[in-house]
Amino acid sequence: MAKGQLEFQEEVDAARIENAMWRSWKADGSGDHSGDHSAKTEKLERVRGSIGDSIDFSQIRYPQETRRCRYDDLPTFPVRPNFAGFENALQPASQCVVFDGCPEDPYHPSNTPIYQTSTFVQPSSSEFGPYDYTRSGNPTRTALEKHVAMLEHAAAAFAFSSGMAALHTVTRLLKQGDEILVNEDIYGGMHRLLTQDCAHNGVQVTFVDTTNLTAVAKAITPKTKIIHTESPSNPRMKISDLRKLATLAHQHKVLLSVDSTMMPPVICQPLLLGVDLVVHSATKFFSGHADCTGGLVCVRDPELAHRVAFLQNAEGTALAPFECFLFLRGIKTMWLRVNRAQENTVQIAKALAKHPRIKEVFYPGPGGCSSEALRIHNSQSSGCGCIISFTTGSVSFSRRFLDASRLFKTTVSFGSVNSLGEMPCTMSHASIPAEERTLPADLVRLSVGIEDVRDLLQDLQRALDFASSQKPPPEHDGYDSRFEDLPVVPRPPDEEERPRKSLSEWLLSEVEGPSTSQMLSGPCPCCWESS
296 phi and psi angles, rounded to 5 deg = -135, 140
142, 231, 281, 504: which one binds ligand PLP (CB under 6 A):
281
Which residue out of 48, 284, 329, 406 is catalytically annotated? Answer: 284
142, 293, 339, 389: which one binds ligand PLP (CB under 6 A):
293
Fill in the per-residue mask, 192 to 231: x = in contact with ligand PLP (CB under 6 A), - = not in contact: --------------------------------------x-
Which residue out of 241, 259, 276, 459 is catalytically annotated? Answer: 259
Which residue out of 13, 62, 135, 455 is catalytically annotated? Answer: 135
Cβ atoms 134, 116 nearer than 8 A: no
Residue 125 CB partners (closer than 8 Å, separation 6+): none
Catalytic residue check, 107: no
Catalytic residue check, 187: yes
Comparison of 76 and 169: residue with beta carbon closer to ligand PLP: 169
DSSP assignment of 52-106, as one string? Answer: -S-S-GGGTTSPPPPP---TTHHHHS------TT----S-HHHHHH---S-TT-T
Comparison of 325 and 327: residue with beta carbon closer to ligand PLP: 327
Q: Which amino acid is at 40?
A: K
Comparison of 156 and 296: residue with beta carbon closer to ligand PLP: 296
- Using alpha carbons, select from 376, 96, 109, 361 the residue that is nearest to residue 235: 361
Nearest 10 degrees: Cα torsion 235, 241, 243, 245: -90
Comparison of 17 and 297: residue with beta carbon closer to ligand PLP: 297
101, 139, 163, 368: which one binds ligand PLP (CB under 6 A):
163
Please tell me the distance from the alpha carbon of residue 453 to that of residue 506, in angstroms, as a whole number.
36
Fill in the per-residue mask, 53 to 82: x = in contact with ligand PLP (CB under 6 A), - = not in contact: ------------------------------
- Using alpha carbons, select from 419, 412, 273 the residue that is nearest to residue 337: 419
- Using alpha carbons, select from 406, 383, 280 the residue that is nearest to residue 336: 383
Across 479-490, b (16+ Cβ under 10 Å) vs e yields: eeeeeeeeeeee
Question: Considering only 103-111, 160-168, 372-380, 518-526, which stretch makes contact with ligand PLP by CB under 6 A?
Answer: 160-168
Does position 162 bind ligand PLP by CB under 6 A? yes
SS3 category, 312? helix
261, 312, 344, 389: which one binds ligand PLP (CB under 6 A):
261
Comparison of 323 and 459: residue with beta carbon closer to ligand PLP: 323
136, 283, 389, 504: which one binds ligand PLP (CB under 6 A):
283
Catalytic residue check, 40: no
Residue 234 CB partners (closer than 8 Å, separation 6+): 185, 186, 187, 259, 261, 262, 387, 428, 445
Does position 259 bind ligand PLP by CB under 6 A? yes
Catalytic residue check, 284: yes
DSSP assignment of 360-406, as one string? Answer: EEESSSTTTS-HHHHHHHHHH-SS--SEEEEE-S-HHHHHHHHHH-S
Contact positions with ligand PLP (CB under 6 A) in 423-482: 428
52, 101, 295, 364: which one binds ligand PLP (CB under 6 A):
295
The helix (H) or strand (E) run that includes residue 445 is: strand 444-447
Nearest residue by C-beta to ligand PLP? Answer: 163
Question: Considering only 100-108, 157-165, 386-394, 398-406, which stretch makes contact with ligand PLP by CB under 6 A?
Answer: 157-165
Comparison of 139 and 364: residue with beta carbon closer to ligand PLP: 364
- Using alpha carbons, select from 528, 503, 525 the residue that is nearest to residue 516: 503
User: How many residues lie near ligand PLP (CB under 6 A)?
Assistant: 16
Does position 389 bind ligand PLP by CB under 6 A? no
Between vectors from CA 145 to CA 382 and to CA 272, what angle results, nearest 5°? 35
Does position 189 bind ligand PLP by CB under 6 A? yes
Cβ atoms 260, 190 nearer than 8 A: no
Does position 164 bind ligand PLP by CB under 6 A? yes
277 phi and psi angles, rounded to 5 deg = -130, 130
State the minimum distance, in angstroms, from the CB of residue 445 to ligand PLP: 10
Question: Considering only 28-36, 43-51, 163-171, 488-496, which stretch makes contact with ligand PLP by CB under 6 A?
Answer: 163-171
State the minimum distance, in angstroms, from the CB of residue 413 to ligand PLP: 5
- Using alpha carbons, select from 162, 496, 95 the residue that is nearest to residue 332: 95
Comparison of 281 and 312: residue with beta carbon closer to ligand PLP: 281
State the minimum distance, in angstroms, from the CB of residue 165 to ligand PLP: 7
Which residue out of 73, 187, 337, 459 is catalytically annotated? Answer: 187
- The binding site for ligand PLP (CB under 6 A) comprises 162-164, 167, 187, 189, 230, 234, 259, 261, 281, 283, 293, 295, 413, 428
Active site residues: 135, 187, 259, 284
